[in-house]
Amino acid sequence: EIVLTQSPATLSLSPGERATLSCRASQSVSSNLAWYQQKPGQAPRIIIYEASNRATGVPARFSGSGSGTDFTLTISSLEPEDFAVYYCQHRYNWPPLTFGGGTKVEIK
């Protein structure tokens, strides 16, 4: 099973600041990684797929990078609606599909 480790667990930032979230895989997942945003009481929403492609309708302030074992989600300038929990997920050599433990981006 491929384990995804996200860091930090919590990121405290102000609107307008840059957010950098990390996801590390226990073995290479090539570029087979997605990022999701989840707000309280809602289902997750895909924001990045294949490591660096923005999903439909996702603002350009969101970007993803990385391949192999190290991945980054960057939010260039936080908007109020971006404060949420973010998860990474791989689809490489499954089952199982696995998610990271999540990073909460909270208002400082």
Q: What residue ranges bind other proteins (CB under 8 A)?
A: 1, 34, 36, 38, 43-46, 49-50, 53, 55-56, 87, 89, 91, 94-102
Q: Which CB, 3 or 77, lies closer to other proteins?
A: 3
17 alpha-carbon distance from chain centroid: 17
Please give the structure tokens belonging to residue 84: 């949420």
- Confirm if 83 and 38 have CB atoms less than 8 A apart: no
Q: Which CB, 36 or 62, lies closer to other proteins?
A: 36
Q: Which CB, 83 or 89, lies closer to other proteins?
A: 89
The Cα-based distances of 30 to 5, 40, 67, 75 in angstroms read 16, 31, 5, 22
Max Cα-Cα span within the chain: 39
Q: CB of residue 84 vs other proteins: minimum separation in angstroms?
A: 13
Q: CB of residue 43 vs other proteins: minimum separation in angstroms?
A: 4
